[in-house]
Amino acid sequence: MNYVEILYVLNDDVASKDHYGKLSAAQAAVAPLLASLDLTFGARLLGVRITEEIGEVFDDWHWNRRLDGPTVALEAQADLAFIEAQAGLGQIRAIFEANAGRSLEHRSRLRIASQWYWRADAETDPVQKFIAFWLVIEALEMDGPNIAPVKQVVQSLTGDDSVPVAAAIGRLHGLRSRLVHGKQDAVSSVQLGAVEAVSLALLERHLLGVLTDDRKSALRQAVQDASSAIFSG
């Protein structure tokens, strides 16, 4: 598989927007699908976003690109791995079918969470990166300030009632609050790694319906790290 091409047809209410308005709407719409592909295949598939363009799509899915679309990167810069085409297409088809079967509310949550995921992925400032990863969690599992739903879901994903999830999520949420309200201005690599592992586990569960062994191991380690009394220090 040399590349994956995703064509998204804009709704009529978006079609009247300018180029960057259309591009922004399309990026938001496909964010969950791209996150699913990223979690399934890893960065080797989406390591290089060759281009994002606005154009005209025809009935046979042939399309013409507008000339004012920006080119993002060069394919030659990528660190690529071989993916057998038929196997890859089967996994991609399953991702698209799963997305089509979701409720409107679930798709909306996944869209917002996936957008925060991509912001976190691109962010270089550790504090902003931590906040973005936490917002992935909040978009997926919370309806307000209550973090109990997050604790319940993470506990079930670890598969072990003895894992100290309540303390871990409580400390992550406390750190998030201190960062957002300016009471703390730095995060450690362990703190950042913990919130990232939790957010990716929840996103993988929602997008793919399963949790890989590696992801579950990373989640359990994150919970152990975040539950430590020195985590918030």
Confidence of residue 203 (pLDDT cuts 50, 70, 90): very high
Determine the pLDDT at residue 90.
61
Structure tokens at 62: 């042939």
Percent residues over pLDDT 70 in the chain: 77
Statement: residue 107 has pLDDT above 60: yes
**pLDDT, tens only, 70-91:** 444 344 444 555 556 666 666 6
Task: Give kind and range of the element (H or E) at residue 57.
Answer: strand 55-57
Could you give the maximum distance between any two Cα atoms of the chain, in Å?
A: 60
Structure tokens at 166: 């309540």
Q: String of b and e for 167-182 (b: at least 16 CB within 10 Å)?
A: bbbbbbbebbeebeee
**pLDDT, tens only, 135-177:** 999 999 998 889 999 999 999 999 878 788 999 999 999 999 9
Q: Where are the domains of the chain?
A: 1-101, 103-232
Determine the pLDDT at residue 29.
81
Most confident of the ranges 14-18, 65-69, 115-119: 115-119
Determine the pLDDT at residue 161.
80
Determine the pLDDT at residue 218.
93
Closest CA to 191 of 134, 138, 118, 135: 134
Task: Give the residue with greater pLDDT, 117 vs 98.
Answer: 117
Determine the pLDDT at residue 75.
46
Task: Give the residue with greater pLDDT, 147 vs 122.
Answer: 147
| Average pLDDT of the chain to the nearest whole number | 80
Q: What is the mean pLDDT of residues 172-185?
A: 92
Task: Give the residue with greater pLDDT, 55 vs 219.
Answer: 219
**pLDDT, tens only, 54-73:** 777 777 777 776 655 444 43
Using a 10 angstrom Cβ sphere, with 0-12 exposed, 13-18 middle and 19 or more buried, the burial of residue 99 is middle
Determine the pLDDT at residue 208.
84
pTM: 0.67
Determine the pLDDT at residue 77.
47
d(Cα 44, Cα 200) in Å, to the nearest integer? 17
